């Protein structure tokens, strides 16, 4: 006898969606309770909602408000904060050593968290995202272009663009114009790095405006942080085109194509006597050197890392000088009393300006060009960091802005005080070892010496030649959002040529 359907099966079918929903809700609740209360990271202080899901973190990243939010957390919870299910932030000097330091039998390797770093369009690596052995190979080769010898040879190229900056600023001063000093710093550093990387500038200084290529770089950087969403939630990869606007992807491709075209054009010239980056790289490019694809990707990286961050530091330092008249007057007096003529302002001589050096150190502390952390992944066996056992495959980082604005590390953390770097006893308790604006260890910034040289030469020449006065409209310039880097507005400055 065949079974008779009396309607019970329909009832069961109707219950299935409800049961599935209930099961999903129970799973989500169980996961939330586990992450908040029983996860190996549960003992680390931090907001519980962020421990349960990284959606709030990604929300602030996409809004450009994450740097300020993380600083709030460190002020509330201390120097170790869990801000995601598997993400921990630190703000101590020792954590730099553990996470980023040179590796020994006791100090294990922390690999980069590739969810943060954008993959290249070509598929080739550059020095930031390259695996450990490839990174060593690339760094060995590229380091020749940033050696002390190279820096001495590059001074004439550097001077050429600083001369042009001074000349253009003098024209504006003569005509009574105010200038956006942020833009002019960008014009100078992009032209300089363009010449050092490709053998020709972008022409920003001559034109008094951004080259379309430079504008495109800024446009892409502002939106690039959205890529984290896709890299954290890989199931969203098919929706990449909806999350990351088409124009961003197209501009990214255009930037790569322009870099490829310009870099390979310089490579075709071969080894020359010119002291630019390519000359040094090509001289040492043996069978263990860079492929053409790697060379292009590293050239692309150098354009961004070697120009934007230097201009950012100059902008931040100048802002804090112009909002602190006594400090501005002291550093200006140091420069003008040291040099009798502009020709005396050389790379060797600006190194003797101790107060200006302290001004830059304090500028890095108040306004680090890379304000966020550079995350690393703990080794599979885990590691102790700042007294906490951090399990393997956890993303850990030192947040620069939070570290530098933390009263536990720096007295009067919100005040611009260069004297703290000159042995002032009032600040002897400062944790100066936590300041690492160029990162730390074997992966620190290879262009540190070049950046310092640019900054010292540019600021010394400007303050020797001009009196600067910031206009009221730029008063709160430092209240900015961050999208990987600072989203900087203009600093409007009245410039007056010094009469001698």
Instruction: Please give the annotated binding residues for heme, written as ranges.
Output: 445
Beta-strand pair 376-377/383-385: unpaired
Find, among 209, 215, 232, 200, the residue nearest to 58 by Cα: 232
Count of CB atoms within 10 A of residue 483's CB?
Answer: 18
Give the whole-angstrom CA distance, residue 211 versus residue 198. 15
Tell me the backbone φ, ψ of residue 378, rounded to 5 degrees: -65, 150
- Retrieve residue 79's tokens: 């120097």
Give the whole-angstrom CA distance, residue 302 versus residue 445. 11
Tell me the three state secondary structure of residue 24: helix
| Cβ proximity of 57 and 84 under 8 Å | yes
Give the whole-angstrom CA distance, residue 388 versus residue 41. 9
Name the CA dihedral angle for 294, 271, 275, 138, rounded to a multiple of 10 degrees: 20
Report the Cα–Cα distance between both ends of the chain, in Å, rounded.
115
- What separation in angstroms does the CA of 167 have from each of 60, 170, 265? 42, 5, 30
Give the whole-angstrom CA distance, residue 434 versus residue 94. 8
Maximum separation of any 2 CA atoms in the chain, in Å: 115
Q: Could you tell me which residues are annotated as the binding site? A: 445
Tell me the backbone φ, ψ of residue 373, rounded to 5 degrees: -85, 155
Give the whole-angstrom CA distance, residue 471 versus residue 377. 45
Give the whole-angstrom CA distance, residue 79 versus residue 387. 11
Give the whole-angstrom CA distance, residue 333 versus residue 460. 11
Find, among 78, 74, 19, 52, the residue nearest to 371 by Cα: 74
Find, among 393, 414, 395, the residue nearest to 404 by Cα: 414
- Retrieve residue 173's tokens: 């001063």
Residues in the chain: 500
- Give strand pairing partners of 149: none
Residues 6+ away with beta carbon under 8 Å from 382: 389, 390, 391, 392, 394
């Amino acid at each position: 006898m065949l079974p008779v359907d009396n309607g019970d099966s329909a009832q069961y079918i109707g219950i299935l969606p409800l049961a599935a929903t209930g099961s999903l809700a129970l799973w989500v609740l169980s996961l939330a309770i586990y992450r908040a209360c029983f996860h190996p990271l549960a003992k680390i202080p931090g907001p519980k909602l962020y421990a349960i899901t990284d959606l709030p973190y990604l929300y602030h990243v996409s809004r450009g408000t994450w740097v300020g939010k993380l600083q709030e957390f460190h002020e509330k919870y201390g120097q170790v904060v869990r801000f995601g299910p598997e993400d921990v932030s630190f703000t101590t000097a020792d954590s730099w050593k553990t996470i980023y330091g040179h590796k020994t039998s006791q100090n294990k390797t922390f690999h980069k968290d590739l969810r943060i770093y954008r993959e290249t369009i070509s598929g080739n690596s550059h020095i930031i995202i390259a695996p450990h052995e490839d990174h060593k190979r690339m760094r060995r080769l590229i380091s020749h272009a940033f050696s002390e010898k190279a820096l001495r040879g590059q001074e004439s190229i550097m001077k050429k663009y600083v001369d042009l900056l001074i000349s253009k600023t003098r024209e504006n001063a003569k005509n009574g114009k105010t200038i956006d000093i942020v833009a002019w710093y960008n014009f100078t550093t992009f032209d300089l790095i363009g010449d050092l990387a490709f053998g020709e500038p972008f022409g920003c200084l001559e034109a008094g405006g951004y080259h379309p290529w430079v504008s495109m770089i800024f446009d892409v950087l502002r939106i690039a942080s959205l890529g984290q969403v896709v890299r954290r939630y890989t199931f969203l990869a098919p929706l990449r085109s909806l999350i990351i606007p088409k124009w961003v992807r197209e501009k990214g491709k255009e930037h790569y194509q322009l870099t490829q075209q310009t870099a390979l054009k310089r490579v075709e010239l071969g080894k020359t006597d010119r002291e630019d980056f390519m000359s040094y790289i090509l001289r040492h490019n043996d069978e263990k050197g860079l492929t053409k694809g790697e060379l292009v990707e590293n050239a692309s990286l150098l354009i961004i890392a070697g120009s934007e961050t230097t201009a950012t530091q100059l902008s931040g330092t100048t802002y804090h000088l112009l909002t602190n008249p006594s400090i501005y007057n002291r550093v200006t007096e140091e420069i003008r009393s040291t040099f009798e003529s502009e020709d005396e302002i050389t790379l060797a001589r600006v190194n003797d300006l101790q107060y200006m050096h302290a001004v830059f150190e304090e500028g890095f502390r108040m306004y680090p060009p890379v304000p966020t952390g550079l995350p690393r992944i703990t080794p599979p066996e885990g590691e102790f960091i700042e007294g906490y056992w951090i399990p393997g495959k956890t993303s850990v980082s030192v947040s620069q802005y939070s570290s530098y604005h933390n009263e536990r590390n720096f007295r009067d953390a919100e005040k611009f005080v260069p004297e703290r770097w000159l042995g002032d006893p009032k600040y002897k308790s400062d944790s100066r070892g936590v300041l690492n604006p160029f990162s730390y260890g074997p992966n620190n910034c290879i262009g540190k010496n070049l950046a310092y040289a640019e900054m010292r030469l540019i600021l010394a020449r400007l303050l020797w030649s001009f009196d600067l006065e910031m206009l009221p409209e730029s008063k709160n310039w430092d209240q900015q959002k961050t999208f990987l880097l600072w989203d900087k507005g203009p600093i409007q400055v009245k410039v007056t040529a010094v009469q001698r």
